[in-house]
Structure 1
Amino acid sequence: MVPLLPFTLVVMTRNEAQKIARCLDSVPFAAEKLVIDSGSTDDTMAIARTHGARVVQQEWLGFGPQRNFAATQCSHPWILALDADEYLTPALADELQRSLPALMKSGTAAAILRRHLIYMGKPMRWYRPAVGEKMARFYHRDRARWNDVRVHESLQLNGPSVTFHAPFLHDNNPSLVEKQLKVLLYSELKCRDWLDKDKPARMWQTPFVFALAFIKDYFLRLGFLDGWRGYAIAQTAANYAVYKRMRYYEMRQNPASRDTAADALTRSGLDH
């Protein structure tokens, strides 16, 4: 039996039946496993329960608010936040089991974990955001809080942090089809945040945005060293940077498109 440590593993899900077991099973030393589900129609919730998780159903609130809601449902103040397509490596699991008891007795706000990306079925080797990307994922809920944005949320710390060295893995987007669908959703959420802030639509920047985004990812972040997979990542990132600006311009020019797009995403099962 693996000794349990007093923290909660939290995973947010919606139709993650193919991935949730691997995620949950990679953290056998969590005293509690909690799945926050926002409307799965597959076997996600049943599989999660089979693998030791307590399931709470919550209508989707947006990434930041949903994570903050999840923190209120945890039985322990220390939380490990993973996505369903993420999982610990054995090396990180061992490092956490050795280091967490002392960390949880300290005044530390969070621990920074390093995420490695699996893309097109293989680990990326050189592309900088995919090799050791630092992310605050283990935290004390009274010393850290997720910002309330709809997408690209981050953990705001009120105290010091430590960094672990072994990685966890992100099995990102089984195909480019899933990636493009995610681009549509994330663009819509980002544009809604921009609308809330009444951000100006500067379409004249768009051609430069594409070039700069591609150069940043392909050259400065060393995507070119990963061959055509690096090119695909850079191209997709540049397209995302352009598309969300065009979509935001459309939202401002034609406000009715906000509702029609939301309806289309809902009918396609892509509303979150």
Structure 2
Amino acid sequence: MTLSVAIVAHNEEANIGRTLASVQWADEIILVDAQSTDQTRDIAAAAGAKVILEPWRGYVAQKNYALELCTQEWILSLDADEVVPPELADEIRRIISSNAQHQGYSMPRKNLFLGRWMQHGGFYPDRKLRLFRRGQGSSTGFDPHDHFELKDHQPEGRLQHALIHHTYPTLTLYIEHMNRYSSLGAAHARSKGQKGSLGNILLRPAATFLYNYFFRSGFLDGREGLLLHLYHAGYVSWKYAKLWEQKCAGKAIGI
């Protein structure tokens, strides 16, 4: 059996070389680049990837477009900051070269924050469906919280070894991403009729922090865990504050 790796990217020169180096054993690497202004495309091409330039469609649509370009029997979808370690690569090769019992497989994911693996607080095992037969899986959900599903809700197999996710190496990068994600989250919340109430702006973030940091043992991940859960609670507050802001702006212009 043969394998395509599908990746979407935008300005990922700091990560893409490491990601591509971990999947050089694949039969095909498809990278859909959303008009990067750095060296992402050059690095990918030098690593043997087939690079397609495509304006950003949104997370769900862009990933599905990448899947459409794949030509091999199996597809492994990766984020541009993820790495497939050797033990996971071996497991994937064994699965697709045998009589696979499922049309798709999920795998755990180790999320690194400021270089530390977040093992608690709901950030592990963070299992993701990423490996599936071509035509059997697709991206769904809403931006930026997309996920993959199998066609006709078929049961998925479970791989044992984990992806490595180099998610946020600096606080600056985390805050920049959460600012953007909270804007997308506010737009989605508004489409669902949710409210930017004081309860959602103040109490929901506090409840999120208490639940993840204490009840889900996020405190066991040291100072990095404390910062992650504090700032994640901040993201929740920003999302609902932006929802309130959007509704106020809409009222001002009569929407």
The two structures have a TM-score, normalised by structure 1, of 0.86
Equivalent residue, structure 1, for 2:79: 83
Provide structure 1 residue ranges, at least 5 long, that are not aligned to the other structure: 258-272
**Does residue 134 in structure 1 map to residue 130 in structure 2?**
no
Superposed, which structure 2 residues align to 1:1-272 within 5 Å?
A: 5-102=1-98, 106=101, 108-124=102-118, 126-157=119-150, 158-255=153-250
Following superposition, the deviation at residue 132 of structure 1 comes to 2.4
Go from structure 1 to structure 2 and tell me whether the alpha carbon gap of 1:120 and 1:198 turns closer, same or farther (over 3 Å shift): same
How far residue 189 of structure 1 moved from its aligned partner, in angstroms, is 1.3
Alignment RMSD: 1.9
The separation in 1 between residues aligned to 2:92 and 2:112, in whole angstroms, is: 22
CA distance in 2 between partners of 1:196 and 1:209 (Å): 19
CA distance in 1, matches of 2:15, 2:136: 30
Deviations 1:161-191 (A, max 9, x none): 1111111101121200000000011111122
The letter of the residue matching 2:178 is V
Gaps of 5+ in 2: none
Assess if the C-alpha contact under 8 Å between 2:74 and 2:96 holds in 1: no
Q: Bigger CA drift: 145-154 or 50-59?
A: 145-154
CA distance in 2, matches of 1:94, 1:197: 43
Q: Shift of residue 255 of structure 1?
A: 3.6
C-alpha distance in structure 1 between counterparts of 2:75 and 2:198, whole Å:
41
What CA distance in whole angstroms lies between the structure 2 residues aligned with 1:8 and 1:176? Answer: 33
Secondary structure of 2:67's aligned partner: helix
CA gap 1:231/1:68 in 2 versus in 1, 3 angstroms: same
Task: Using the TM superposition, name which of 198-207 and 218-227 deviates more.
Answer: 198-207
Equivalent pairs counted in the alignment come to 250
Question: Is this contact kept in 2: 1:95–1:166, CA < 8 A?
Answer: yes
Q: Where does residue 268 of structure 1 map in the other structure?
A: none
TM-score between both structures, scaled by the size of structure 2: 0.91
Q: Distance in 2 between matches of 1:57 and 1:228?
A: 40
Contact 1:65 1:149 survives alignment (8 Å) = no
- The 3 A distance-change label for structure 1 pair 33 and 160 is same
In structure 1, what is the Cα distance between the partners aligned to 2:69 and 2:192? 30
